[in-house]
C-alpha cells in the first residue's frame, strides 16, 4: 500500500497532528513556566517584596482617594449651578438623612429645578451626595460647603 491510501490506513494524519500538538504543548508549557520562574524566585528570595506589593496596592487606593478629594476641591460650579445645588440641599432637608435617589429626583422634577438629571449627576460626581452602601444616599454638608460657599 502506498501514497495517501497508506497514510489513511495507518492513521498517519491523526498521529502526526497529535505528535506535533504534544511536542508544542510540552515546550509551550515549559516556556511559560520558566518565563515566570525568575519572578517567583525573586519573591521567594525576598519576601518583603510581597508585602511591598500589598503596600503599593494600599498606597494606590490612598492616592485614588486623594485624587477624588482633588476632584471635589477642583469642582467649579457656575452661579446658576450653585443655585440649583442649594435648591437640592433644601429639598434634601425635607427628607430623611438616608434618602432615595429616585425620590430626590422626583422631588426635583416636581419642584421644577433646572436640569434635574445633569445637576444631580454633578452632585454625585463631586461627592456632595454619596452612597451609604445600602442603596440610599447621604448629603455631605462639608463637601457642599467647600464647593458652594
Partner 1 sequence: MDALFIEFYHNTGFYLWDYRYLIMIVVGLVFIYLGIAKDYEPLLLVPIGFGILMGNIPVFQGLGLSIYEDNSVLHYLYFGVTQGIYPPLIFLGIGAMTDFSTLLARPILMLLGAAAQTGIFITFLGALALGFAPNEASSIGIIGGADGPTAIFLTAKLAPHLIGPIAVAAYSYMALVPVIQPPIMRLLTSRKERLIRMEEPREVTKREKIIFPIVAFLLCCFLAPAALPLLGMLCFGNLLKEAVVTERLAQTARNALIDTATILLGITVGASTQGDIFLVPSSVGIFALGALSFSIATASGVLFAKVMNLFLKTKINPLLGAAGVSAVPDSARVVQMVGQKEDPTNFLLMHAMAPNVSGVIGSAIAAGVLWSLMA
Which stretches of the chain bind partner 1, using CB under 8 A? 1-4, 6-7, 10, 12-13, 15-16, 18-20, 22-35, 37-38, 41, 45
Question: What is the C-alpha to C-alpha distance for residues 49 and 46, in angstroms, rounded to an integer?
Answer: 6
Nearest approach, Cβ of 36 to partner 1 (angstroms)? Answer: 9
Residue closer to partner 1 by CB (options 33, 53) is 33
From the CB of 22, what's the least distance to partner 1, in Å? 5
SS3 content of the chain, % helix, strand, coil (to 5): 75, 5, 20
Question: What is the nearest approach in angstroms of partner 1 to the Cβ of residue 14?
Answer: 9
Helix 79-93 with 101-110: angle, nearest 10 deg: 110
Name which of 20 and 71 has its Cβ closer to partner 1: 20
Q: What CA–CA distance (Å, rounded) separates 103 from 90?
A: 14
* Residue with smaller CB distance to partner 1, 7 or 101: 7
**How far apart are alpha carbons 99 and 80 in whole angstroms?**
24
In the bound state with partner 1, the residue whose beta carbon lies nearer, of 2 and 54, is 2
CB of 50 to partner 1, least distance (A): 17
Q: Which of 99, 96, 88 is nearest to 144 (CA)?
A: 88
- Provide the 3-class DSSP secondary structure of residue 113: coil
- Bridge partner list, 139: 129
* Cβ nearer to partner 1, comparing 37 with 66: 37
Closest approach, Cβ 21 to partner 1, in A, equals 9
Amino acid at each position: 500500500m502506498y501514497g495517501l491510501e497508506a497514510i489513511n490506513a495507518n492513521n498517519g494524519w491523526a498521529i502526526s497532528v497529535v505528535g506535533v500538538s504534544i511536542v508544542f504543548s510540552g515546550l509551550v508549557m515549559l516556556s511559560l513556566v520558566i518565563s515566570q520562574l525568575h519572578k517567583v524566585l525573586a519573591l521567594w528570595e525576598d519576601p518583603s517584596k510581597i508585602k511591598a506589593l500589598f503596600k503599593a496596592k494600599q498606597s494606590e487606593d490612598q492616592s485614588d482617594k486623594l485624587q477624588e478629594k482633588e476632584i471635589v476641591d477642583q469642582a467649579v460650579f457656575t452661579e446658576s449651578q450653585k443655585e440649583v445645588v442649594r435648591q437640592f440641599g433644601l429639598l434634601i432637608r425635607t427628607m430623611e438623612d438616608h434618602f432615595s435617589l429616585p425620590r430626590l429626583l422626583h422631588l426635583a422634577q416636581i419642584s421644577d429645578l433646572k436640569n434635574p438629571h445633569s445637576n444631580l449627576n454633578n452632585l454625585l460626581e463631586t461627592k456632595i451626595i454619596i452612597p451609604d452602601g445600602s442603596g440610599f444616599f447621604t448629603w455631605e454638608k462639608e463637601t457642599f460647603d467647600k464647593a458652594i460657599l
